[in-house]
Amino acid sequence: MADRFFQGYVYQLQGSISRTFGVIDNKEIVSCSNQELIGNRNPFQLMSHRTVENECFSVGNNTYRMFYENSFVKFAVFVEGTDKVAEEYATILSVCFTGMKSYFEEKYNRHLFYKNLFLETILPGDINVRANMMKIPLLKPRVVFLLRFPRVDTQWDLGLLFSNTEKPGKYEIFSMTETDVILIAETRSNTSREELDEMGCYFQKAASELFGVSPVTGIGSIVTDIRQLAESYKESVYVLTLLYLFEGKTSVVNYNRLGIKRLVYQLPLPLCEAYLKEVFVKGSFETLEEETLETVKSFFDNNLNVSETARQLYIHRNTLMYRLEKVKKLTGLDVRIFDHAVIFKLAMVIHRHIRYKGNISTAPDS
């Protein structure tokens, strides 16, 4: 790719330069006025050669001048000869190619590559080529963590978020938007949901300690191919849109733990309202007191275990039974029975969905 790009400019300039000249990268001559030399190995290792941009240097029978470098690639022009004329030609050529800096930034900027990958502005056929150019492994288990802040400060050192993590592996981190930070973590293909949740909580806690603000965190699925990474990103965005369906102070959400919430989110409001009317034939959901609802939530969290629920709520077993009986009297549902518990649990999620979506639809336009 690089050789074709440079060669077009070499064709235009070779009529004005009487000597052999071209462009080299870390390993070889990628473009040259003498096409037979293209592909020849460098006479020295450009990547390890200590050079100063905008200064000429000579090696063997050629004069060189750097015009672009980052942590992955270096490019330099070379001109046949080591005299003053060769230096002048090298200077002119480096200026010409330096004007193409935006091209190199696009081709060799890893974070820009990931952004374009997620936004799907890269042609599918170019993904592997671009990844190979930046030495990004194509087949490696990875997962996307999306950390959403009220606002991302450009002064934050995002690399500190994983510098002390106990989880081995490689990470990429960058700002995706003014509020979103993307962290791509290499994992094992069999990394469990629990491990991913732990990592999400760790990054969230680290952000709170480092930056003084705790982000909500969405976790996508593990993918094994670089071309699938955009799907993991979409999932991490999607789960944060469903955050309102989770109870309590949940702020780390795993795509593979959405359960019925994914289904409820896709239901139209009229269908949800009809469901609640069908379930609560004796009275509306709003007739249930907050204390009663918290009791039912704890009962569900403890797998319908009466003794454990009473212990965690610091109440007598008889008090708990009284509250559950009250729910049965108001709704007709005995949550001690599994089938009734499932119906009530679904109703709780649907009620939150209606309340949230209803508030959005009735809110005045800004």
For position 95, what pLDDT does the model report? 86
Mean pLDDT of 326-337: 86
Using pLDDT thresholds of 50, 70 and 90, give the confidence band for residue 50: low
More confident residue, 360 or 94: 94
pLDDT band, very low/low/confident/very high, at 109 (cuts 50, 70, 90): confident
> Which pLDDT score, from 0 to 100, does residue 238 have?
95
Q: How does pLDDT run across 338-354, given as a tens digit for each residue?
A: 999 998 888 889 988 88
Average pLDDT of the segment spanning 24-43? 86
Copy the structure tokens of residue 325.
């009986």
Tokens describing residue 343: 């119906």
Instruction: Say what the pLDDT of residue 79 is.
Output: 95
Decide: 29 and 6 in contact? Cβ < 8 Å. no
The per-residue pLDDT for 231 is 96
pLDDT score of 284 = 65
Please tell me what DSSP assigns to residue 124.
H
Whether residue 196 contacts residue 189, with contact meaning beta carbons closer than 8 Å, is answered with no
Per the listing, tokens 């500190």 go with: 160
2 near 18, Cβ under 8 Å? no
Residue 47 has pLDDT above 80, yes or no: no
User: Roughly what angle, to the nearest 10 degrees, separates helices 110-118 and 229-241?
Assistant: 60
d(CA 23, CA 66): 10
Q: In whole numbers, what is the pLDDT of the chain averaged over residues?
A: 85
Strand segments, DSSP code E, in the chain are 21-24, 29-32, 56-59, 62-69, 74-80, 139-148, 171-175, 180-186, 216-219, 223-225, 252-254
Going by pLDDT thresholds of 50, 70 and 90, the confidence category of residue 44 is low
Percentage with pLDDT > 90 across the chain:
38
> Which letter does DSSP use for residue 41 in this model?
B
Nearest CA among 242, 117, 99 for reference residue 182: 117
What are the Cα distances from residue 287, in Å, to 242, 320, 331? 25, 18, 9
Contact 171, 162 (CB under 8 A): yes
Residue 301 pLDDT greater than 50, yes or no: yes
DSSP output for 341-359: HHHHHHHHHHHHHHHHHHH
pLDDT tens column, 214-254: 999 999 999 999 999 999 999 999 999 998 888 767 789 99
Q: In the prediction, which pLDDT does 363 show?
A: 41
CA 75 – CA 97 distance, rounded (Å): 10
What is the predicted pLDDT for the residue at 364?
41
Least confident of 74-88, 278-292, 308-322: 278-292
Which of 50-59, 142-151, 169-178 is the most confident on average? 142-151
Range of lowest pLDDT (10-24, 42-56, 260-274): 42-56
Amino acid 46 reads L
| Neighbour order of strands in the sheet with 21-24 | 29-32, 21-24, 74-80, 62-69, 56-59
Strands 252-254 and 216-219: parallel
Q: Please state, in angstroms and as integers, the Cα–Cα distance from residue 98 to each residue in 34, 76, 94, following that order.
A: 22, 10, 6
With beta carbons less than 8 A apart as the criterion, state whether 183 and 161 touch. yes
